[in-house]
A and B are shown apart, each in its own frame.
Chain A
Amino acid sequence: KAGVTQTPRYLIKTRGQQVTLSCSPISGHRSVSWYQQTPGQGLQFLFEYFSETQRNKGNFPGRFSGRQFSNSRSEMNVSTLELGDSALYLCASSSTSGGSSSYEQYFGPGTRLTVT
């Protein structure tokens, strides 16, 4: 089975711009979660989508948004980029949602975003 894929792998943007990141989960997985990883803050949960519905949300500003399509692929959008948004953005897929006790998540390779 193919793993989680993320595109693009690297991105350089300027402050004030917006960016869209894409994630394709493992075939058959319906849950996609997004995380931001920085050296200072570690791995921070952004949001989770399950069957096209946002099931959970972390403590990030409204500039961070996402969606999930009927084929379970997900996109994450960050508007009005700030320097502090520079990070590794990871998506993870699971066959179940966070409401299930069986919630093994598998990560994609990540998108490295640099904001200048």
Chain B
Amino acid sequence: QKEVEQNSGPLSVPEGAIASLNCTYSDRGSQSFFWYRQYSGKSPELIMFIYSNGDKEDGRFTAQLNKASQYVSLLIRDSQPSDSATYLCAVLMDSSYKLIFGSGTRLLVRP
């Protein structure tokens, strides 16, 4: 079992729709969770982090964390073609203090 799992996609949504990206992790004790956006040929850019159960909103982005289910998600409201990128979920493993990345989900927003 991978430590951090994401569906590779691509996830295709029409412009203006809500894009929902999901991530599961194996270390039950993990406390810190991050979402990065990576455009093709560029480095990852931190867009959200969440440390507590529940929802955290920042503009069009909402991160959701459910520690009991070991599940973290990212919602992008009013998706724009410029949101088309690969979204990486990262989890700070409680057991090793390493930041482990999922393989990423490619999002395609159709105009």
Report which A residues bind B (CB closer than 8 A): 33, 35, 42-43, 45, 48, 55-56, 58, 88, 90, 97-99, 101-110
Contacts and interface: CB of A to CB of B under 8 A. Distances in A.
B92 A90 contact: no
Contact of B32 (A33, A103, A107): A103
A45 B99 contact: yes
B69 interface: no
A45 B98 contact: yes
Interface string B37-58: 0000011111001010000000
Interface of B: 31-32, 34, 36, 42-46, 49, 51, 88, 90, 92, 96-104
Given A105-B46, A109-B43, A110-B43, A99 B32 contact: no
Contacts of B92: 98, 101, 103
Given A45-B98, A45-B99, A98-B98, A106 B46 contact: yes
A45 B88 CA distance: 14
B43 A33 contact: no
A45 B3 CA distance: 13
Contacts of A90: 43-44
Contact of A56 (B32, B49, B98, B102): B98
B31 A101 contact: yes
Given A45-B98, A88-B43, A103-B99, 11 more contacts: A42-B104, A45-B100, A56-B97, A90-B44, A97-B97, A98-B97, A98-B99, A101-B31, A104-B46, A107-B46, A109-B42
A106 B90 CA distance: 12
